[in-house]
Amino acid sequence: MNNQDSKSTKRSTDHDNSSREFIQNSALVGSGLMMAGGASSMFAAGSKYGPEVHTQNVPSRGYAAFDTSGVLKPWKFERRPVGDNDVLIDVKFASICHSDIHQLKGHWGSQQYPQVPGHEIVGIVAAVGKNVTKFKVGDRAGVGCMVDGCKNGTCCEEHGEQYCPDTVFTYGYPQESSPTGISQGGYSSNIVVNDHFAVHIPENISFEEAAPLLCAGVTTYSPLLKFDLKKGDKVGVAGIGGLGHLAVKLAVSKGAEVTAFTTTADKVDGIKGFGVKNVVVVDDELKALGDYRGQLDYMINTFPVDYDVAAYAAAVKPFGTYTQVGMPEGFSVSANALGLAASRVNFNASLIGDMKETQEVVNYCADNKVLPEIQVISAEQINQAWEDVVAKKARYRYVIDAATF
Ligand SMILES: [Zn+2]
Ligand SMILES: [Zn+2]
């Protein structure tokens, strides 16, 4: 924060004031050819894009919500021209995160519409700006929850881009460079982002399976990494949905002894297949968690709804660690203070992960075959899929085929 001046001179976009004001004024932080090497070859021969993508807005089509009903409909809109530090990515798949639903329905504060959600995005680089060396046209690329920010700031290096006041989140965030005034997400045919906020998708993972790693994967990987998970550690994962099932698989792959807590009885058999030691169906929180009193080294909770933290914290050893990653309506969770005091856990909440961790989790999952369970759907099935996510029917991530936008 002491390098504000140098940052603003280095930045390629001019959104810093608006985004800083926005973050100060709002609780909403919960929320994306041709060969490089010569200015004359910044677009590909035969590409559907010509050199005009660098000077004119780029046409895009996607699915947007138009009000707090959250009903999504096809929408044509424009992206900003591909700037010197930008990449244009033709989206191949975008997956559905519970956050998309919360934000577009206004659960996290009022929104500007039309708004295109989606922050688990994969595709192929279709154009690059002249300063971009990280990507070339034809590369496989992914975008998660952030699309721009002070990539040169030391604050980002120290703490992660997601905790920087200059960061632009992938959709619904004030962004002067966007023709619509806000960032527009990945339920769309293409996206333009600052190259720092795109990661490489290696060849040894499919696009469909890589998409959920960009939010759900890194959101669970980051706190597990920071806990310094060791082989044999006893780890609890509460809420086995899109985030939770990846938390389970990641913890199992690191050699942890995992206990899964779910409120959905018919998920038990599926969860056992992920290599957990125990699956606990929670109908009475105090009883179910009381049976595990003081046993776990670490608990990660993905509930996207309000609940009593203390009930779940009871399962963690004194001075163990408890991380909240699910984000409820209004961002609030409850805690019985006496219950929390009696279990004496170190409680924290964690917001996604930084760009380094995002690349790391994609590589780790590809190399170790830690893959999300997915169902590929077409764009016209999104509204039904959102209902199924809320009804806890997803198994476990819906991935939209971007060819159907
Ligand atoms: Zn998400
Ligand atoms: Zn920063």
- Half-sphere exposure in the Cβ direction for 395 (13 Å, CA): 10
Q: State in Å: Cα 152 to ligand 2 middle.
A: 7
Q: Of 380 and 30, which is predicted with more confidence?
A: 380
pLDDT digits (tens, 9 = 90+) for 326-366: 999 889 999 999 999 999 999 999 999 999 999 999 999 99
pLDDT digits (tens, 9 = 90+) for 90-133: 999 999 999 999 999 999 999 999 999 999 999 999 999 999 99
Q: For residues 321 and 300, what is the distance between their CA atoms, to the nearest angstrom?
A: 9
Q: State in Å: Cα 7 to ligand 2 middle.
A: 8
Q: For residues 95 and 394, what is the distance between their CA atoms, to the nearest angstrom?
A: 12
- Count of C-beta atoms within a 10 Å radius of residue 86: 30
> What integer pLDDT is reported at residue 16 of this predicted model?
42
> What integer pLDDT is reported at residue 1 of this predicted model?
36
> What integer pLDDT is reported at residue 159 of this predicted model?
85
Q: State in Å: Cα 31 to ligand 2 middle.
A: 17
Q: What six digits make up the tokens of 157? A: 């290096």
Residue 47 pLDDT level (bands cut at 50, 70, 90): low
Which H or E element spans position 363? Answer: helix 355-368
Is the pLDDT score of 248 beyond 60? Answer: yes
Say how far residue 76 (Cα) sits from the centre of its chain. 24
Q: Which ligand is nearest to the CA of 302?
A: 1
Q: State in Å: Cα 266 to ligand 1 middle.
A: 24
Q: State in Å: Cα 211 to ligand 1 middle.
A: 11
Q: What is the mean pLDDT of the chain?
A: 89
Q: Which ligand is nearest to the CA of 156?
A: 2
Q: State in Å: Cα 153 to ligand 2 middle.
A: 4
Q: State in Å: Cα 98 to ligand 1 middle.
A: 6
Q: Which domains does the chain have, with CATH numbers?
A: 4-215+353-404 (3.90.180.10), 217-349 (3.40.50.720)
Eight-class DSSP state of 374: E
pLDDT digits (tens, 9 = 90+) for 54-64: 999 999 999 99
Q: State in Å: Cα 158 to ligand 2 middle.
A: 9
Q: State in Å: Cα 129 to ligand 2 middle.
A: 22
Which H or E element spans position 72? Answer: strand 72-79
Q: For residues 223 and 355, what is the distance between their CA atoms, to the nearest angstrom?
A: 14
Q: Where are the beta strands (DSSP E) in 144-271?
A: 146-148, 168-169, 190-194, 198-200, 234-238, 257-262
Is the pLDDT score of 4 beyond 90? Answer: no
pLDDT digits (tens, 9 = 90+) for 299-317: 999 999 999 999 999 999 9
Give the rounded percent of residues in the chain with a pLDDT score beyond 90: 80
pTM of the model: 0.88
By the 10 Å C-beta count (0-12 exposed, 13-18 middle, 19+ buried), 391 is classed as: exposed
pLDDT digits (tens, 9 = 90+) for 189-211: 999 999 999 999 999 999 999 99
Q: Which residues hold their Cβ within 5 A of ligand 1, which is an ion?
A: 97, 99, 215
CB 145 within 8 A of CB 119: yes
